[in-house]
């Protein structure tokens, strides 16, 4: 959620700057409009993730987490438990979806998992997607963690990139009070 708040703050500041300066460069408006879909990005955890953490299915500090992509027509539901429940897009022409863990630690009873931002790069046309999810590739059944709904379809042509900002300061997820 902190990432969404950061994007909202950036957009509000940009709008204020445009209004205060009374200068509206059309190129700046195009850049601003490209950020607007991010306002609708919401993180949805899978119900089973809570139980899986309690039953030692996940070792979030050591296990390999991976991104999955899917269309809105095949949107995940909260009761999905493992990757085989998800209809994924074809990953032809897409770079590695492996996520790097930056830190996995607790402070004063609050656990925080911090992930390195992931840049997906297209080496040709990539299938359209709208949902971006995270699953544990090390766990026996590729258990699901959560997913983001980007609010509209995302397309990637050759050479384009798509950055997943996992929020280095607030962390990807926290557990605690």
Residue-wise pLDDT tens digits, 102-157:
999 999 999 999 999 999 999 999 999 999 999 999 999 999 999 999 888 999 99
Classify residue 30 as exposed, middle or buried by CB count within 10 Å of its CB (0-12, 13-18, 19+): exposed
Q: Which residues contact 167 (CB under 8 A, 6 or more apart)?
A: 2, 3, 6
- State pTM to two decimals: 0.77
Task: Give the up-direction half-sphere exposure of residue 120: CA atoms within 13 A in the CB hemisphere.
Answer: 26
Classify residue 13 as exposed, middle or buried by CB count within 10 Å of its CB (0-12, 13-18, 19+): exposed
169: pLDDT strictly greater than 90 = no
Cβ atoms 102, 116 nearer than 8 A: yes
pLDDT of residue 129: 96
Q: Give 3 or 54, the one with higher predicted confidence.
A: 54
According to DSSP, residue 83 is labeled G
Look up tokens 């204020």; give the residue: 16
How many helical (H) and strand (E) elements, i.e. helices and strands, does the chain have?
3, 10
pLDDT of residue 40: 52
Strands of the chain, DSSP E: 42-45, 65-70, 98-99, 101-107, 110-115, 118-121, 126-136, 144-156, 161-164, 173-175
Distance CA 149, CA 168 (A): 20
Distance CA 59, CA 45 (A): 17
């Amino acid at each position: 959620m902190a990432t969404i708040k950061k994007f909202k703050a950036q957009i509000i500041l940009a709008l204020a700057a445009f209004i205060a300066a009374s200068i509206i460069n059309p190129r700046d408006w195009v850049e601003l409009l490209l950020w607007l879909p991010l306002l609708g990005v919401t993180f949805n955890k899978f119900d089973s993730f809570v139980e899986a953490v309690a039953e030692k299915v996940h070792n979030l500090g050591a296990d390999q987490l991976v991104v999955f992509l899917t269309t809105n027509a095949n949107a995940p539901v909260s009761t999905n438990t493992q990757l085989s429940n998800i209809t994924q897009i074809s990953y032809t022409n897409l770079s590695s979806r492996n996520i790097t863990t930056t830190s996995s630690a607790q402070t004063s009873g609050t656990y925080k998992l911090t992930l390195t931002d992931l840049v997906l790069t297209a080496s040709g046309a990539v299938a359209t997607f709208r949902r971006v999810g995270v699953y544990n590739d090390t766990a026996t059944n590729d258990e699901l963690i959560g997913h983001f709904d980007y609010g509209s379809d995302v397309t990637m042509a050759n050479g384009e990139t798509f950055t997943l900002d996992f929020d280095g300061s607030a962390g990807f997820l926290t557990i605690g009070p």
